[in-house]
Amino acid sequence: MVRRDMSQKAAVTVVYAAAMFMAIMDSTIVIVALPTLGREFHVQPEAAGTITIAYLVSLGVFIPVSGWVGDKLGGRRTLLMAITLFTVASALCGTAHGLGELVVYRVLQGAGGGLMTPVGLAMFFRVFPPVERVKASGILMVPTMLAPALGPVLGGLFVTGLSWRWVFYVNVPIGIAALVFGAVFLHDHREHEAGRFDLVGFAASGTGLGLLMYGLSEGPIKGWASLEVVATCIAGTFVLVLMVVVELRQGEPLVDLRLLSNRLFGASNLVIALYAMAFIGVLYLVSLFYQEGLGLSAMQAGLSTLPEPVGAMVAAQLVTRKLYPTIGPRRLITVGLLVVAATMVAMSSVGLHTSLWQARVIMFVMGLGLAGVFIPVQAACMATISPASTARASMMFNANRQLGAAIGVAVLSTVLVALHPVHVVSTKVSPNLHAYDVSFITGAAVAVIAAVCASLLVRDADALSTMTGRRGRTSLGVGDPDPTERALVPTAPR
């Protein structure tokens, strides 16, 4: 029985944060276990990589349908169903006795993740009015930044001290807690009728994203000249182009591409995709750099990455309380991305004889910059989206972020492989740190491009409803009208 005595803002935040923490941590914790899984199942490391690829492809297939399912079944029911699926699939992954079995369970896990995060984000935007989204987004910095940093630490701890199975079992208690909490405290909410199911849109978007995710994941491993990689990337791109043509002609499209014509939402999607390319790509690179380049253990590498989420959480207080309400998203995002780019360049100066504390300080400063990007983008992206379109807009925002992350990992991995991360001198193998340096600088270049796009395309005036500190404005309450609506309200004559 659902209780009515808890604020839905608190309830949605807790459940969504837990769901996001599981989904994000899962993507990094599994990478640490891949060599062990290869030995366990007697396959090459490249074959073990299908465990990650299966999850990414499944995400690509199920993210597009999340908006329609959320509108059809209601946010509460869909979110709890997705958490259940993700949690059960995690438990099944831990019991797997073969690679094929594990891959099937990872597909189920991806299905849960593909529904879980977009639906949770849509519920988040529905319970928080625009003026409150900045502070609420600051809270979400904790799971978003902490999860990818904790993944390698926990992965190393489980693989070396317990068993690879705990890499998946770790999701179970978190999932059960989120499920029970959500079942008790979450209220159901339906914004409008979902309409008929767009089967063509689902087939085109799921197939296109799935093929593209597969090609991007396999490219750095099998080589971009591989017929399989080329074919899947071309086919995926072709199907997505076909989807655009079909969906723009649909009266009730599954993927409502018309939303991108909304100036602020379109700009936010471009910035979040480029941000994910740079940040997730470099975060993946940092883990390799620490372990393969500097020779640290997985746990040492994870601990050396932890200053980044600490920096993000420290800066989140300044961003949410002082900066965003008064100066708006455009300058914050631009400066934040430039700080991130500078720290990526600084990482290229770290070598075998550099103090690890220098690298940790760089990661801390990177976290400071990330807070200036993630919070403003998340707070502002839906400022001009109607409540009825929130579910589909949330789906698109998550799909762009996921695709950007996949492209970022693929691009930086390709640069690293092309420059040979190891070289052999007199039969002795040693790391080629120059390859990592160029890869870091490539990530920085993407961050600079994102900063330019933010500076040119994001407008503070569009996000005015999310700001409270502009001169001449008062703070909007939960039930207050939108600023554009206030202009239509007649005032008493003086």
Same domain, 71 and 168: yes
Q: Do 78 and 175 reside in the same domain of the chain?
A: yes
CA-based angle 465:467:468, to the nearest 5?
110
pLDDT band at 344 (very low <50, low <70, confident <90, very high): very high
Report the 10 Å Cβ neighbour count for 147: 21
pLDDT tier at 190 (50, 70, 90 boundaries)? low
In a domain, 304, yes or no: yes
The pLDDT of 233-249, averaged and rounded, is 89
Looking at the structure, tell me whether residues 15 and 161 fall in a common domain.
yes
From the list 171, 185, 209, the residue with the least C-alpha distance to 404 is 209
244 within a domain of the structure (yes/no): no
Higher pLDDT pick, 320 / 142: 320
| 8-40 and 133-161 helices, crossing angle to 10° | 30
- Asked if residue 73 has pLDDT above 90, the reply is no
Do 1 and 134 reside in the same domain of the chain? yes
Q: Does the residue 105 lie in any domain?
A: yes
Question: Do residue 164 and residue 286 come from a single domain?
Answer: no
Q: Using CA atoms, how far apart are residues 457 and 271, in angstroms rounded to an integer?
A: 9
- pLDDT above 60 (res 214): yes
- pLDDT exceeds 90 at position 250: no
Select from 317, 373, 316, 315 the least CA-distant residue to 340: 373
Q: 239 with 204: CB under 8 angstroms?
A: yes
377-to-136, 271, 331, 446, 449 alpha-carbon distances in Å: 13, 8, 11, 17, 16
> Is 80 exceeded by the pLDDT of residue 48?
no
Of 97-106, 149-158, 272-281, the range with the lowest mean pLDDT is 149-158
The domain in which residue 418 lies consists of 258-468
Do 154 and 287 share a domain, yes or no?
no
- pLDDT recorded at residue 478: 34
Assigned domain for 247 exists: no
Mean of the pLDDT values across residues 191-214?
Answer: 80
The band of 1, judged by pLDDT with boundaries at 50, 70 and 90, is very low
Backbone angles phi, psi at 421, to 5 degrees: -70, -15
Nearest 10 degrees: Cα torsion 340, 342, 344, 348: -170
Residue 465 tokens read as 């409803």
State mean pLDDT over 294-308: 80
Distance (Å, whole) CA 404 – CA 410: 10
Query: Buried (b) or exposed (e) across 42-67, using 16+ Cβ within 10 A?
Result: eeeeeebbbbbbbbbbbbbbbbbbbb
Domain termination site, one of 153, 173, 197? 197
| Residue 287 pLDDT grade (very low, low, confident, very high; cuts 50, 70, 90) | confident
Question: Is the residue at 252 inside a domain?
Answer: no
Both 386 and 460 in a single domain? yes
pLDDT at 194: 63
The Cα–Cα gap between 301 and 151 comes to 11
Which residue, 178, 197, 216, sits at the end of a domain?
197
The verdict on residue 429 lying in a domain is: yes
pLDDT for 192: 63
Task: For residue 211, give the 3-state DSSP assignment.
Answer: helix
Task: Specify the pLDDT at position 26.
Answer: 83
Sign, CA torsion 167/168/169/170: positive
pLDDT at position 475 is 36
The percentage of the chain sitting over the pLDDT mark of 70, rounded to a whole number, equals 90
Place 44 in a pLDDT band, splitting at 50, 70 and 90: low
Q: Of 170, 214, 162, 221, give the one whose Cα is nearest residue 29.
A: 170
pTM for the complete prediction? Answer: 0.82
Compute CA distances 491 → 85, 328, 465, 468, 479, whole Å.
53, 28, 20, 21, 18
Amino acid at 293: G
What is the model's pLDDT at position 456? 94
Indicate whether 271 and 143 sit together in one domain. Answer: no
What pLDDT, on the 0 to 100 scale, is given for residue 383?
Answer: 84
* Per-residue pLDDT tens over the stretch 437-461: 999 999 999 999 999 999 999 998 8
Give the pLDDT confidence score for residue 352 in this predicted structure. 82
Q: How confident is the model at residue 480 (pLDDT cuts 50, 70, 90)?
A: very low
Give per-residue pLDDT as tens, 76-123: 889 999 999 999 999 999 898 888 888 889 989 989 988 898 888 888
Distance of alpha carbon 412 from alpha carbon 348, whole angstroms: 13
Cα 463 from Cα 373, distance rounded (Å):
15
Question: CA-based angle 117:118:120, to the nearest 5?
Answer: 65
- Number of domains present in the structure of the chain: 2
Fill in the amino acid letter for 475: S
Per-residue model confidence as pLDDT tens digits over 353-391: 888 889 899 999 999 999 899 888 988 888 888 887 888
Does residue 212 fall inside a structural domain?
A: no
Q: What is the CATH number of the domain that holds 263?
A: 1.20.1250.20
Cβ-proximal residues to 286 (8 Å cutoff; 6+ apart), any chain: 301, 305, 347, 363
For residues 274 and 48, give the distance between their C-alpha atoms in angstroms, rounded to a whole number: 28
Tens-digit pLDDT profile for residues 388-428? 788 888 888 888 888 888 888 888 888 888 888 777 666 67
Q: Which residues pair with 431 in a beta bridge?
A: 422
- Residues 104 and 3 occupy one common structural domain: yes
Distance CA 368, CA 315 (A): 5
Residue 323 and residue 464 in one domain = yes
In a domain, residue 73? The reply is yes
Given CA atoms 14, 20, 24, 25 in this order, what sign does their dihedral have? positive
